[in-house]
């Protein structure tokens, strides 16, 4: 564990988070409350009753539990509930700005016991949640991602929605999420080109469950400005050089990588080697509810296990602010605050 003094310094450091999934932010308590709200049956996923904390055996097992949680998001009000829960949690850690990924496609889809949400209800839920987040002191930007293992490239549900009249306030980017293996990025090039043509930034996941080729394709085919994870780029030194030269930032999520088996032990995490190679990196929680983590915990792991000192943390926050799609006004104010933050 991080010593107490270090923990309070990390806690007080003004922070931004660029890689956190709204639908992955639900804690056991929130999933349970939503399950009760809708009279759902959790025993098909957890036959022995509610767990103390979620645990997983690899990505497919994680996905099964994740989709149960997702099936409980049936109305705009459910979205407001989880956005406000997330906002309260991140605000308590002095996170000032968060870019939150949400998967519109899964809410529009008819799925078993629930019918799909309308675009208007989804938009209104996000707008109301974002308004409440601001009251808690956190500005939210939205990333809406294509779930590569659900929305095949021939479908255009997400990109059609993004081009339409019902997008939420604060929408900044398009993402590409889901299980990489067997679902390459290149077939989504047209979707990303359309999104970029309407001013959205490109922040796909890559190099998590697949290797270097997936990261290269995210940059070459999708015009990635930041990459979710990307930690497996180290398998290819030429690619590492391309990432450094292009200034693409990797959104690193240590606990997520450990729990989903991307790394076997935290000591072997790629973060120190990425920084040594000159790759821009920032720290994130990915799915904080499901992984029972928060941003201060992730920063603490980086301090404790991965050799990041206070100067390194400060530099990572400054880099994350610069690589964010927050308003210039907010960026300037956060950078000014970080510049005078005591080390």
Residue span binding Zn ion (CB under 5 A) among the ranges 110-118, 161-169, 286-294, 335-343: 286-294
Kindly identify the residues of this chain, within the stretch 172-201, that bind Zn ion according to CB under 5 A: none
Q: How far is the CB of 343 from Zn ion (least distance, A)?
A: 30
Q: Which of 124, 98, 87, 83 is nearest to 20 (CA)?
A: 98
Q: How far is the CB of 22 from Zn ion (least distance, A)?
A: 11
Q: How far is the CB of 97 from Zn ion (least distance, A)?
A: 18
The C-alpha atoms of residue 215 and residue 239 are separated, in whole angstroms, by 8
3-class secondary structure, 280? strand
Closer by beta carbon to Zn ion, 137 or else 211: 211
Which residue sits closest to Zn ion, CB atoms considered?
Answer: 286
Residue span binding Zn ion (CB under 5 A) among the ranges 41-49, 222-230, 236-244, 262-270: 222-230
- Supply φ then ψ for residue 228, to 5 degrees: -70, 115
The C-alpha atoms of residue 318 and residue 252 are separated, in whole angstroms, by 15
Is the backbone of residue 232 left (phi > 0), alpha (psi -120 to 50) or beta?
alpha
- Supply φ then ψ for residue 21, to 5 degrees: -90, 125
Q: Which of 313, 285, 312 is nearest to 18 (CA)?
A: 285
Identify the residue among 124, 286, 294, 298 touching Zn ion (CB under 5 A). 286
Closer by beta carbon to Zn ion, 85 or else 99: 99
Residue span binding Zn ion (CB under 5 A) among the ranges 158-166, 212-220, 282-290, 302-310: 282-290
Closer by beta carbon to Zn ion, 2 or else 185: 185
Q: Say if residues 105 and 146 touch (Cβ distance below 8 Å).
A: yes
Q: How far is the CB of 219 from Zn ion (least distance, A)?
A: 17
Q: Which of 339, 321, 340, 320 is nearest to 330 (CA)?
A: 321
Is 298 a binder of Zn ion (CB under 5 A)? no
Q: Say if residues 311 and 318 touch (Cβ distance below 8 Å).
A: no
Q: What single DSSP character describes residue 101?
A: E
**From 208, 225, 251, 298, active-site residue:** 208
Q: How far is the CB of 286 from Zn ion (least distance, A)?
A: 5
Q: How far is the CB of 19 from Zn ion (least distance, A)?
A: 6
Kindly identify the residues of this chain, within the stretch 224-263, that bind Zn ion according to CB under 5 A: 228
- Supply φ then ψ for residue 303, to 5 degrees: -70, -50
Closer by beta carbon to Zn ion, 69 or else 228: 228
3-class secondary structure, 173? strand
The C-alpha atoms of residue 265 and residue 74 are separated, in whole angstroms, by 37
Q: By rule CB under 5 A, what count of residues binds Zn ion?
A: 2
Q: How far is the CB of 249 from Zn ion (least distance, A)?
A: 14
**Does 208 participate in catalysis according to the annotation?**
yes
Contact mark string toward Zn ion, 133..172, x via CB under 5 A: ----------------------------------------
Q: Side by side, which strands form the sheet with 205-206?
A: 205-206, 226-229, 249-252, 280-283
3-class secondary structure, 320? helix
Which residues are within 8 A (CB) of 211 and not within 5 positions of it... i.e. 6 or more apart?
232, 235, 236
Active site residues: 208
Binding stretches for Zn ion (CB under 5 A):
228, 286
């Amino acid at each position: 564990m991080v010593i107490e003094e270090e923990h309070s310094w990390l806690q007080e450091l003004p922070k931004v988070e660029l890689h956190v999934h709204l639908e992955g932010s639900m804690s056991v308590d929130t999933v349970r409350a939503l399950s009760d709200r809708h009279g759902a049956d959790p025993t098909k996923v957890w036959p022995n009753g509610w767990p103390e904390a979620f645990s997983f055996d690899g990505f497919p097992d994680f996905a099964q539990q994740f989709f149960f949680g997702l099936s409980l998001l049936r109305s705009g009000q459910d979205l407001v509930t989880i956005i406000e829960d997330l906002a309260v949690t991140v605000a308590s850690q002095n996170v000032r700005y968060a870019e939150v990924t949400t998967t519109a496609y899964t809410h529009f889809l008819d799925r078993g016991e629930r019918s799909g949400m309308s675009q208007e209800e989804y938009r209104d839920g996000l707008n109301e949640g974002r308004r409440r987040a601001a009251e808690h002191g956190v500005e939210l930007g939205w990333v809406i991602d294509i779930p590569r293992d659900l929305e095949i490239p021939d479908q255009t549900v997400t990109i059609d929605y993004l081009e339409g009249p019902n997008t939420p306030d604060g929408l900044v980017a398009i993402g590409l999420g889901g299980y990489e293996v067997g679902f390459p990025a290149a077939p989504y090039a047209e979707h990303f080109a359309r999104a970029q043509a309407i001013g959205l930034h490109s922040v796909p996941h890559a190099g998590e469950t697949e290797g270097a080729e997936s990261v290269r394709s995210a940059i070459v085919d999708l015009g990635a400005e930041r990459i979710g994870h990307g930690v497996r780029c180290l398998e290819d030194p030429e690619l590492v050089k391309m990432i450094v030269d292009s200034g693409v930032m990797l959104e690193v999520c240590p606990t997520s990588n450990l729990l989903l088996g991307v790394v076997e032990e935290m000591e072997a995490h790629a973060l120190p080697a990425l920084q040594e190679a000159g790759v821009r990196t920032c720290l994130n929680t990915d799915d904080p509810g499901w992984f029972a983590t928060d941003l201060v915990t992730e920063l603490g792991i980086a301090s404790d296990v991965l050799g990041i000192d206070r100067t390194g943390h400060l530099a990572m926050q400054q880099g994350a602010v610069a690589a964010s799609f927050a308003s210039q006004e907010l960026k300037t104010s956060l950078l000014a605050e970080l510049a005078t933050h005591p080390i």
